[in-house]
Structure 1
Amino acid sequence: MARRRNDKLAAAIAELGLSQARLAARVKSVAEEHGVSSVASVGRSHITKWVAGVVPEPPAARILAETLSRGLGRPVTLADIGLATDTEPEPQPVAWSDDTLTTLEMLGRTDMDIDRRQMLANSVYSVASLALPDDLWFEQAVDRARARRPLSNYVVTAPDVESVREMAAFFSRRDQKRGGRAGRTALVAYLRSEVTELLNGRFLSEDIRRGMTSAAAELAYLAGWTAFDGGEHPLAQRWLTIATKLAEEAGDAPLAGHVLRAMAHQAVDLGKPQEAVRLAEASLSSRRYAQACWRERSLLGVVYARGLAAAGEKTAAIAALLQAERDLGRADAADNEPNRVFFFAEASLAHETAAALRDLGDLQGAEKQFNRSVRTRRAQYARTHSVTLGYLGAVQAQRGHLDLACDTWGQALDAMTGVQSGRARETVVQMRRALSPFRNRPGSHAAELDTRARTMLHAG
């Protein structure tokens, strides 16, 4: 049977205005960015075959859709380019217009189902889905949530709210200690079942409704943050969007800012500086920044600085770093601070400052700040401590101090004992890349460290 030409795909490529060879180059770039090695060999002939009617494998199809989305400046789905199938419906991004609680239940179900979760894991982090709604959407969020009809007769009380907040605090501290992959299944199961049921209940007062919605937003944020730490970026993106929606429906402006800051952090780490700056600016909007405690203001500001640094805006980045330092200096133990910022102190500020300086090319300054972070980090924050050591070793290696870097990386591997974190694992991958020219020198410190790192990766 003759194949049928894919006119939808051909039309999208024509609208983009690129030759098939140039489109193939962009597809390869997006594939490499997401670590999809099976698509890294795409060339012009592949594009020609796809237009002619050959259906690419799922990873390639989604990479192609994301590439077209970026080029056209709008979301492009598999259906838009004639590549959706009945047997494998594509994972859809969370839309701001969708009902929040329905989306929460559906995403929780997807996250808990191995096959559905794998399908989502094979999708891509969508830059097009980072576009925020207009100001009116945010202004009306509380009223929309207040008008939602309850689906359960259960009456939600203040102790229910406190119970959910206690669970959020537990999972947050576990993440800092063990990494995002530790206990994440329990977190999502609790959020999908008990918390979703509470959100669908009846509230004794508007204060209780807001309190429960805010507590649920913190758990949704943790579901997103732990997915981000585990390297599951499309999943994290969806959870963080839902967390922002819940925070806005609760009227909790500082929490919404906190989640947008996490989205900016993810964008920086994935090499999307312009999107990171835009999200960070949204997190720093007047109501979100003004209502936040000083510690949280510092956290928002330092991630903004990281976005600016990655975008090459040195003067603005340095100014933002100085402001973040001043804000943290004004924090006081007597402040009424939310639990979500318990971890952010001098060590965290130094870590993020170092990352910004590294991206600005100031390796000496970055090494100094990473050392400051290592020196001031509390022992219980093992995940972040191991990542800091990994970054510090990389900077030392870049500066030509290989022996010192090997010592630091050895400490990083020590700190990773019991940690389940995709970010920590990635520092080991980068460590091995830096050590590759030296791994064939038997008996050398570098060769021994590389062997240890390889063993750790295989065990993980």
Structure 2
Amino acid sequence: MEPQAADNPLADLLRRLGWNPEHLIARINEVRAGRGCGPLDPKSGYSWVRTNPALPHPDNQRDALTVLGIRAERPVTAAELGWDGPRTRATRRRHLDAPADAPLDALLREITQGDLMDRRHMLILTGAATTAPALALLLSPNSALAAAAERGGSPSDKVIDNIDRAIQDLRDLDDTDGSGTKALEWAGGLWQATARIVNGATGDNANVRRLHTAFIELSEQYGWMAFDNNLHPQAQRIYHTGMRLAAEKSPHPAARHATSNLLASAAYQAAWLGQHTEATAFLTVAERTNTAAGTTPALAAVIADRRLFAAGRRGDTEDLRRACDSAHEQLDRSGPDSGAPWWCQWLSHTAIDAATGRAWLAARQPHHAEPYLTRRVTATTLGYPRDHMLAVLDLADAHRQSGDTDQATELHDTATTLAEHVDSPRAQLRLQQLTTALTH
């Protein structure tokens, strides 16, 4: 444990409150969990109480002042702690910190030099910083690849076939075993290795186009797994790197369809975080990109399914109903032999009903949600333990919101048992949140 400076205002306040820096970080992490953010390192508060302290980032300052004020039972200000001056610590700017402003070759170069996705100072992007990479897709030239001067350096069919199979294997692993640390490490290694191949590929030919499509698909899958691990800043940058490649290099239909799917997943994350304006922007670009590439009904259904969830999160029940109808209609248009991309084939009418239940639950209308969520619990199987656990948790929360505490507790206990076989930090956090709600 690092010594606390005697003349440090925060250290002095913590001593008077009976806390150490780890107590402070634990309370901050409770606030962050309520926003769906990943935790700070338990030791990170010690740098704030040194003789020459580091200043917390403004977001962390706000959280710290909030929890300190609750503990002290009075307002605690930044000036009181000496936090009202400029932050003096300089860090080297990384392109992955601002994917919207970075050229693709710089992003790929950083990825290939090592995984930069676990640095603690990464922040969740909001506003224009979030949506700029998506909006760039609307402005990308249709002849981006046609301008390439070289025609060589493209990977072989066999290399791309293996990348494609690895991505599908990764999806299967995530669906069945979850996206915990080991699976995420594999995904990160595959993403990094594929980035090396993308960075070295040149020319405009079928194999280069397949490679670009595969990297966008992989960015969607890896981003989703980071999201499932509550690594929201990392997930954003992974999604944005895929968007950047699409904007600069890949105007062909297969890549545009993959990009629409990636945008839909980015919208789901944004809605989960309460970034409603950003979620709407992602979904709008996803729809336009799908249309520009030649509308694929199965993909349109996926986008509508994500719009359904986003509408529920912001409490827009009219858009919720419209998105539900659209998702079912587009899925009917798709049909079993439509040739839809493999990553669309998870969506079914049952899955749309499940999303409808989650949306009504998010909109705080549990009586509308319960019938959908009850069917969802019945429809999910133990072969997909994460989905089954989340289904049980959603139904438990619906009963809790309706005032049926006994049924909610029984379902909570079922989910607790299921949690022993689920490697998903998102699902575990959801269980913790429900546990807290039922005990208060």
Which one-letter code corresponds to 1:264 in the other structure? A
Report the alpha carbon displacement of residue 141 of structure 1 after superposing the two structures with TM: 5.3
| Equivalence for 1:57 | 55
Q: Distance in 1 between matches of 2:369 and 2:275?
A: 21
Report the alpha carbon displacement of residue 165 of structure 1 after superposing the two structures with TM: 0.9
Q: Deviations over 1:282-320 (max 9, x none)?
A: 212264487353332112112112222333332222111
Q: Distance in 1 between matches of 2:303 and 2:408?
A: 30
Determine if the alignment matches structure 1 residue 131 to structure 2 residue 131. Answer: yes
Report the alpha carbon displacement of residue 368 of structure 1 after superposing the two structures with TM: 1.1
For the 8 Å contact 1:31–1:37, the answer to whether it is kept is no
- Identical pairs, percent: 17
Q: Distance in 2 between matches of 1:296 and 1:353?
A: 18
Correspondence list, 1:101-180, <5 A: 101-107=105-111, 109=113, 111=115, 117-120=117-120, 122-128=121-127, 129-132=129-132, 138-140=138-140, 143-145=143-145, 147=147, 154-180=153-179
In structure 2, runs of 5+ residues without a counterpart are: 1-29, 43-47, 64-84
Q: Distance in 2 between matches of 1:225 and 1:202?
A: 26
Describe the shift of the 1:184–1:101 C-alpha distance in structure 2 as closer, same or farther (beyond 3 A). Answer: farther
Determine if the alignment matches structure 1 residue 94 to structure 2 residue 93. Answer: no
Which one-letter code corresponds to 1:98 in the other structure? A
Counterpart pick for 1:384 among 383, 387, 397: 387
For the 8 Å contact 2:302–2:347, the answer to whether it is kept is yes
Report the alpha carbon displacement of residue 268 of structure 1 after superposing the two structures with TM: 1.1
| Equivalence for 1:199 | 198
Q: Distance in 2 between matches of 1:87 and 1:331?
A: 50
| Equivalence for 1:302 | 305
| Equivalence for 2:260 | 257
* RMSD of Structure 2 on Structure 1 (CA): 3.6
Partner SS, residue 97 of structure 2:
coil
For the 8 Å contact 1:253–1:288, the answer to whether it is kept is no
| Equivalence for 1:426 | 429
For the 8 Å contact 1:328–1:345, the answer to whether it is kept is yes
| Equivalence for 1:337 | 340
In structure 1, runs of 5+ residues without a counterpart are: 1-27, 40-45, 47-53, 67-80, 438-460
Which one-letter code corresponds to 2:347 in the other structure? F
Q: Distance in 1 between matches of 2:91 and 2:100?
A: 27
Determine if the alignment matches structure 1 residue 354 to structure 2 residue 357. Answer: yes
For the 8 Å contact 1:347–1:374, the answer to whether it is kept is no
Describe the shift of the 1:160–1:209 C-alpha distance in structure 2 as closer, same or farther (beyond 3 A). Answer: same
Query: TM-score, length-normalised on structure 1?
Result: 0.72
| Equivalence for 1:184 | 184
Describe the shift of the 1:155–1:311 C-alpha distance in structure 2 as closer, same or farther (beyond 3 A). Answer: closer
| Equivalence for 2:225 | 226
Describe the shift of the 1:87–1:107 C-alpha distance in structure 2 as closer, same or farther (beyond 3 A). Answer: same
* Larger displacement relative to structure 2 (214-223 or 399-408): 399-408
Q: Distance in 1 between matches of 2:363 and 2:31?
A: 23
Q: Deviations over 1:255-274 (max 9, x none)?
A: 11111111111111112222
Q: Distance in 1 between matches of 2:92 and 2:179?
A: 28
Partner SS, residue 325 of structure 2:
helix
Q: Distance in 1 between matches of 2:134 and 2:221?
A: 25
Q: Distance in 1 between matches of 2:157 and 2:40?
A: 50
Which 4+ runs in 1 deviate beyond 6 A? 28-32, 35-39, 87-91
Partner SS, residue 335 of structure 1:
coil
Describe the shift of the 1:164–1:340 C-alpha distance in structure 2 as closer, same or farther (beyond 3 A). Answer: same
Q: Which has the higher contact order (CA 8 A, sep 6+)?
A: 2
Q: Distance in 1 between matches of 2:211 and 2:292?
A: 22
| Equivalence for 2:399 | 396
Which one-letter code corresponds to 1:387 in the other structure? L
For the 8 Å contact 1:101–1:196, the answer to whether it is kept is no
Query: TM-score, length-normalised on structure 2?
Result: 0.75
Report the alpha carbon displacement of residue 134 of structure 1 after superposing the two structures with TM: 8.2
Report the alpha carbon displacement of residue 211 of structure 1 after superposing the two structures with TM: 0.8
Describe the shift of the 1:242–1:274 C-alpha distance in structure 2 as closer, same or farther (beyond 3 A). Answer: same
Report the alpha carbon displacement of residue 425 of structure 1 after superposing the two structures with TM: 0.8
| Equivalence for 1:271 | 274
Which one-letter code corresponds to 2:419 in the other structure? M
Q: Distance in 1 between matches of 2:402 and 2:173?
A: 35
Describe the shift of the 1:62–1:161 C-alpha distance in structure 2 as closer, same or farther (beyond 3 A). Answer: same
Report the alpha carbon displacement of residue 406 of structure 1 after superposing the two structures with TM: 2.4
* Larger displacement relative to structure 2 (124-133 or 158-167): 124-133
| Equivalence for 2:89 | 85
